[in-house]
Chain A
């Protein structure tokens, strides 16, 4: 084990896969000379050269299309979006060109590509720069969607994403980039796509979360423990394919579910999990599922309003208490 920041873990994942496979390359705005807008690609230009670490113009739709076309011919592009907010310009290629072509071609054309970058709210950058796209991409058959929390998962899942023969949307979080945790050593370490991780065992309530919301759920669990509520925390890690079995097994044990996400509640990941549990574990529920999500508004700039709009530790605590019928 080595302690790495999420930022370093992502960089190491890319570097290791680029060493192993000459078809892997990185393209995006500021990824090469500037070393990444958030310094995730530090050192990659120096090691791999300008042919494999490519600074693009500010042209998201164009370079998402170029990457997808290159993938259709068998290369394995990693396309970095400075943030996923800007990938709205490119979402046509992610859905219509990358996700659907295998199916429409009856299996003829594969598209092994990774679209990655920070997703969700950072700090005080307001509505256009602060959206969570997990449920947007999670909606789409043909895509795999990953949103890691720990450094180990960031590394292991990004490596799996690069090796995966399908298009993968890899949602990072700017506020997690500087967080350190232990990562298994060596280039053979990967984490399988589609497997959730129980990051805290508990008996009383299941709390699902992904990306930065896992941090908040963990903090909530500490405080809940002091109140006599033993929370089990499921880090979803992959949004699509969703590891429903792990969630269901946990709910069958705790009989209660609180879902957490930074995105809006309407048609969100929590809505999906609520439906899943209603369909497949209805009789195990001792309380209605509760969703902790971003408030149903564009994210405001003012510090106090921003805090109100984003789901907080206290919101998770309140929801957990509610489903446990504790006041």
Chain B
């Protein structure tokens, strides 16, 4: 019987080359700048409905997606802008989806919570908490059925981890040895409910023990550690050893969604995480300490990314609203 493990990495933070670190830095900063802009545009009334930002959690998706190869499938909940960017979708089309325009990735019909990229093997973008876990097990099932060595990654939150279908999915994935990586993004809160108030046993990496699932826990504010742990999980699945649980300890800086003032936690708590654990600052420090880069060069990257994001924001405002005729398309496949 596999036993869950805490991965505090007693051997210290794994090594990463300068090129790798720069790559992470770039990717995480792109996610952050995108989300900051989305937040701004929401404030200006350009984005409607629910809009869940990924700020603070960048190392999770960046680290895990860096461990994946072509054909590996990814699925998540409504906090999905980052996953779309990492799947290779055009920031313009993502931002235009947020503004509900014709140029959006879902033609403006999905919005912030419902975005997909088949070519990039990203299967959404789902608004029902927990649904993506069973669907993700289904993606793993499809790999298993086709007899390839690809894996599926299902991201879900600490709150979602209490849904019944999560356990149903663990059971089937274990029973059929599906190549499923269940990533619990533990940011300590489900909307306004802290983990303390919702969860009897808070070691979420142990959630699969009843099904014989191995579980790993990693510091989700350290992209290098996330990547290294994800490598292990991917290797486990590719070797045909069935599913695995990966708990990633992280934190969101903003409210649950743009309409949440986050009064259930103190400003100090947020400030402390930002100051001590910020995933982007951490990579930045390592880059500079090891002299892989310098202030100037990193500023240059930021400038370039801000350019990309500004273009996206402009496109998202200039792209027209969908044609009225779009109302009735895509209800059925003809």
Contacts and interface: CB of A to CB of B under 8 A. Distances in A.
B329 A69 contact: no
A74 B142 contact: yes
B175 A71 contact: no
Interface in B235-252: none
Interface string B122-145: 011111100101111111111101
B332 A62 contact: no
B197 interface: no
Interface residues of B, number: 46
Contact of A69 (B114, B137, B330, B333): B137
A54 B145 CA distance: 11
A104 B333 contact: no
B237 to A, nearest CB: 16
Contact of B134 (A62, A107, A112, A165): A62
Interface stretch (B40-48, B163-171, B286-294, B305-313): B163-171
A35 interface: no
Given A64-B134, A65-B169, A166-B332, A106 B110 contact: yes
A75 to B, nearest CB: 5
Contacts of A104: 106, 109-110, 114, 124-125
Contacts of A66: 134-135, 137-138, 141, 169, 172
Contacts of B171: 57, 59, 62
A4 B142 CA distance: 34
A67 interface: yes
Interface string A62-92: 1111111111111100000000000000001
Interface stretch (A95-103, A173-181, A314-322): A95-103
B123 A106 contact: no
A62 B125 CA distance: 18
B136 A141 contact: no
B110 A72 contact: no
Given A105-B110, A109-B124, A61 B164 contact: yes
Nearest to A67: B138
B331 interface: yes
Contacts, number: 144
B117 interface: yes
Contacts of A97: 126, 128, 131, 135
Interface in A209-236: none
A109 B135 contact: no
Of A59, A63, A96, A105, chain B has the most CB atoms within 10 Å of the CB of A105
Contact of A70 (B104, B128, B139): B139
A107 B106 CA distance: 7
Contacts of A56: 172
A165 B137 contact: no
Interface string A174-212: 000000000000000000000000000000000000000
Contacts of B104: 106
A49 to B, nearest CB: 12
Nearest to A111: B333
Given A102-B332, A109-B116, A61 B134 contact: yes
Interface in B148-203: 164-165, 168-169, 171-172, 175-176
A70 B173 CA distance: 13
5 contacts: A62-B137, A67-B138, A72-B138, A104-B106, A142-B332
Interface of B: 73, 75, 104-110, 114-118, 123-128, 131, 133-143, 145, 164-165, 168-169, 171-172, 175-176, 329-333
Kindly list the 5 A-B residue pairs having the minimum CB-CB distance in the complex, ordered from nearest.
Answer: A69-B138, A65-B134, A62-B168, A106-B107, A69-B135
Given A69-B141, A96-B128, A108-B116, 18 more contacts: A54-B176, A56-B172, A61-B164, A65-B138, A65-B169, A68-B134, A70-B138, A70-B142, A72-B139, A92-B131, A96-B127, A101-B114, A103-B109, A104-B110, A106-B107, A106-B108, A108-B106, A109-B118
